[in-house]
Amino acid sequence: MIKRIKIIIEYDGSDYVGWQNQKNGKSIQGEIEKALLEFFNEKIKLSGAGRTDSGVHAVGQVAHFDIDKKLIDPEKLHKSINYILSKHKNRISILKSSFESDNFHSRFSARKKKYTYKILNRSIKSFLYEKKAWFIPTKLDLEKMIKASSFFIGKVDFNAFRSTHCQASQSVRSIEKIIIKKSKEIIHINFLGKSFLHNQVRIMVGTLVNVGRGKIEVEKVQEILESRDRTKAGPTAPPHGLYLEKVIY
What are the pLDDT digits (tens) for 15-48? 999 999 998 999 999 999 999 999 999 999 999 9
In the chain, the domains with their CATH numbers are: 3-100 (3.30.70.580), 112-248 (3.30.70.660)
Residue 73's pLDDT is what?
81
User: Is the model's pLDDT at 72 over the cut of 90?
Assistant: no
CA distances from 9 to 18, 73, 149 (A): 14, 18, 29
What are the pLDDT digits (tens) for 40-69? 999 999 999 999 999 999 999 999 999 987
Q: Distance (Å, rounded) from C-alpha 226 to C-alpha 36?
A: 47
User: Is the model's pLDDT at 71 over the cut of 80?
Assistant: no
Which residue of the set 12, 15, 53, 102 is catalytic? 53
pLDDT tier at 185 (50, 70, 90 boundaries)?
very high
Q: Is 53 part of the annotated catalytic residue set?
A: yes
CB distance 95 to 10 below 8 Å: yes
Alpha helices in the chain (DSSP H): 28-40, 74-87, 142-149, 200-213, 220-227
**Using alpha carbons only, how large is the chain's radius of gyration in Å?**
19
- Pick the more confident residue, 1 or 142: 142
What are the pLDDT digits (tens) for 227-244? 999 999 999 999 999 999
